[in-house]
Amino acid sequence: MARVLVLNATYEPINVCTLRRAAVLLLKEKAELLEQREGAALHSERMTMERPDVIRLVSYVRIPREAHRRKITRRAVLARDSWTCQYCGSTKSGLTVDHVIPRSRGGLSVWENIVAACPPCNRRKGNRLPREIEMHPANTPKAPPPTVFIQVASPKIPSAWEQYLPQAA
């Protein structure tokens, strides 16, 4: 499915939407076209418009800064960890999430205690603490930046988006 990056009026990335939604925002003049897909256009009976890749809202939309912290999902954890096992570095499909301090040992389900792990590493670690088995995450887990939802919606970041995303640049 075609995805379009949506920027706030201040050029900060706020969302990824469908091509259809982006076209509606452009037609209603609620957004302006910043980047378009070369050689691709949208056609209707009466008009043709460039296929949007990046759009910017005309009016500023207030986004709660802590909204991303509430949503701990498997896909968000995998996106934060770049779809890489934090114990062995594997990027194979089928990654799971692991509680660094197991829940059975008092660990909480918070961003700072959850990492991506391949199934073999997750089974090997089991319900032990990292120091007990000498398995420490490659990166210290922390809450992701607000743009993590963009990585969740589009794991492969299109090159046209890179200049608008702080960590991808």
What CATH code is carried by the domain that includes residue 74?
Answer: 1.10.30.50
What average pLDDT does the segment 62-75 reach? 73
Residue 141 belongs to some domain of the structure:
no
Q: Are residues 74 and 129 in the same domain?
A: yes
Q: How many domains does the chain have?
A: 2
Q: Are residues 157 and 102 in the same domain?
A: no
Q: Are residues 115 and 71 in the same domain?
A: yes
Q: Are residues 56 and 105 in the same domain?
A: no
The pLDDT confidence band at residue 10, using thresholds 50, 70 and 90, is very high
- 90 φψ region: left (φ > 0), alpha (ψ -120 to 50), beta (else): beta
Task: Give this prediction's pTM.
Answer: 0.68
The predicted pLDDT at position 64 comes to 74
DSSP state of 164: G
The predicted pLDDT at position 1 comes to 66
> How does the average pLDDT of the chain come out, rounded?
89
The predicted pLDDT at position 124 comes to 96
Residue 109 belongs to some domain of the structure:
yes
Residue 16 belongs to some domain of the structure:
yes
Residue 138 belongs to some domain of the structure:
no
Q: Are residues 46 and 98 in the same domain?
A: no
Highest mean pLDDT (candidates 4-8, 79-83, 142-146, 157-161): 4-8
Domain that holds residue 119: 67-133
Residue 114 belongs to some domain of the structure:
yes
Q: Count the Cβ atoms, other than its own, within 10 Å of residue 72.
A: 17
Q: Are residues 42 and 71 in the same domain?
A: no
Q: Are residues 99 and 119 in the same domain?
A: yes
Which pair of structure tokens corresponds to residue 57?
């809202």
The predicted pLDDT at position 70 comes to 63
Q: Are residues 110 and 91 in the same domain?
A: yes
Q: Which range, of 75-79, 81-85, 110-114, 165-169, averages the lowest pLDDT?
A: 165-169
CA gap 130, 105 in Å, rounded: 12
